[in-house]
Amino acid sequence: MDFQWGDEEATFRHELRQFLADELPDDWDDLSKDGPGSEAQAAFSRQFCGRLAEKGWLTPHWPTEFGGGGKGAWFHAVLGEEMWAVGEPRGPQYMNVNWIGPAIQRYGTAEQHKQHLPPISSGSVLWCQGFSEPDAGSDLAALRTRAIRDGDEYIVNGQKLWTSYANHADYCFLLVRTDPEKAGTKGISVLLVPMSTEGISVREVPSMVGERYFHEIYFTQVRVPVDCRLGPENGGWQVVTFALAQERVGAARYARAARVIDALAADAAELGRLDDPLLQVRLGAARAACEAARVLAYKVIDQRDRGEPPAPDTNVARVANTRADLAVADLALAVHGADALEYGSIADANYRLAITAGVAVGATEVQLDLIARRFLALDPNAKARS
């Protein structure tokens, strides 16, 4: 793997930084403090993504036949790093371009490509993902939301929980059980469901990570055409596995964490604390964690750029990203103490997100278990020694 950026990627990064300097409002930090689910940031993000799309920068990594720039995974990496470094102004749409769009590209029909990909690549549509349920979180295969076939339609009944941005979404990337006789990962399908469909209701779930961030979605006798299914019936697990592999490294959180470190180092200097050897250790550990997360993410990106299938390295990169977030959160407390939790500060936002990072998109413990099985060939049924 070549760790040197090419001239084309370096130029793109420079132009992207200038674009961000021009497009982000002076009050961006205040605007974004309530999170991407807030009314203010959601409205800004739609406008911002439209401007990105006009320049061809919303989906530079997508193939040209799907409305992208055909630039590949490394351009995607540059885009993700620069967006996350400034607080992800794409808001909820980072999901669209990182994994929902690519999943539709791989598993969708020609009609689904025509219907869904142009609105995503133009920044004019917003998606949410209906995965977790009250009794199916880390064990996603335990989901109970049913989709019973009725002629050319499915009748969907069930509940989804912790769904981000459902209040703003136009569509839901919905995971359902289409064969109740099959357990586990079998009998699961993916449906692409308009959120305006009769029988869908959304309720906000208050959270510490931002305004209107999480929601419950209730499906009551919701009729969904069969041609809204993505991939084969009862074959949705492969679709979800692909999507999650994109998601776990699509968010360059290490870039945001690195920027927070720089801000905290400046704060420590202003407070006259940079000579504190314990604080120096914390600063070094946080920076090392961020660099480890970055390099491990690059390994996965390189595999993707070569066209290789998702590998266990994805799980390793995911854990490293989470640990970088937590290291920076600890650093914030070391520098500012309780003042690090002042609402609206860059340290506070990072701290709140770091706490959830070990749960979202697959708990860290689950990721470590997968790493143990795939890299170390450990017996999943073995009991821990006392």
Q: Give the single-character DSSP code of 338.
A: G
Task: Provide the percentage of residues in the chain whose pLDDT is more than 70.
Answer: 92
Q: Which domains does the chain have, with CATH numbers?
A: 7-125 (1.10.540.10), 128-234 (2.40.110.10), 252-375 (1.20.140.10)
What is the chain's mean pLDDT, rounded? 89
Q: Say what the pLDDT of residue 291 is.
A: 96
Average pLDDT of 4-14? 92
Question: What's the CA gap between 342 and 242, in Å, rounded?
Answer: 38
Q: So what's the pLDDT on residue 237?
A: 95
- Bridge partners (DSSP) of residue 173 are 129, 192
- Say what the pLDDT of residue 312 is: 78
Question: Rg (Cα) of the chain, in Å, rounded?
Answer: 21
pLDDT of residue 386: 43
Q: Which residue, among 345, 322, 324, 321, has the nearest Cα to 335 in the 3D structure? A: 345
Question: pLDDT higher for 232 or 244?
Answer: 232
pLDDT at 41 over 90: no
- At 144-171, the pLDDT tens digits run 999 999 999 999 999 999 898 899 999 9
> Is the separation of the CB atoms in 67 and 121 below 8 Å?
yes
- At residue 4, the pLDDT reads 77
pLDDT at 23 over 90: yes
Q: What 3-state class would DSSP assign to 364?
A: helix
Range among 25-34, 99-108, 320-329, 337-346 rated most confident: 99-108
8 is catalytic: no
pLDDT band at 11 (very low <50, low <70, confident <90, very high): very high
Mean pLDDT of 312-336: 88
User: Residue 248 pLDDT more than 60?
Assistant: no
| Alpha-helical segments (H) within 55-202 | 73-85, 93-95, 101-107, 110-121
Quick one: pLDDT at residue 55? Answer: 95
pLDDT on residue 213: 74
Alpha carbons 137 and 22: distance in angstroms, whole number: 40
> Is a pLDDT exceeding 90 seen at residue 347?
no
Taking each continuous run of H as one helix and of E as one strand, the counts in the chain are 13, 8
d(CA 216, CA 205): 7
The single-letter DSSP state of residue 26 is T
Whole-number Å distance between alpha carbons of 177 and 184: 10
Confidence band (pLDDT; 50, 70, 90) for 324?
A: very high
Q: Angle at Cα 363 formed by Cα 384 and Cα 37, nearest 5°?
A: 165
Q: How sure is the predictor about 361, in pLDDT bands with cuts at 50, 70 and 90?
A: low
Residue 305 pLDDT more than 70? yes
- Is the per-residue pLDDT at 85 higher than 80? yes
Note the pLDDT tens digit of each residue in 116-134. 999 999 999 999 999 999 9
- Which pTM was predicted? 0.87
DSSP assignment of 227-274 equals: GGEESSTTBHHHHHHHHHHHHHHHS-HHHHHHHHHHHHHHHHHHTT-T
- Whether 217 shows a pLDDT value over 80: the answer reads yes
**Which one has a higher pLDDT value, 276 or 310?**
276
pLDDT of the residue at 225: 99
Structure confidence at residue 244 as a pLDDT band (50, 70, 90): confident
**Section 48-73 average pLDDT:** 94
- One of 88, 111, 247, 270 is an active-site residue; which one? 247
Give yes or no for a contact between 287 and 261, defined as CB atoms under 8 angstroms apart.
yes
Is the CA virtual torsion 107, 109, 110, 111 positive or negative?
negative
- What's the one-letter identity of residue 135? D
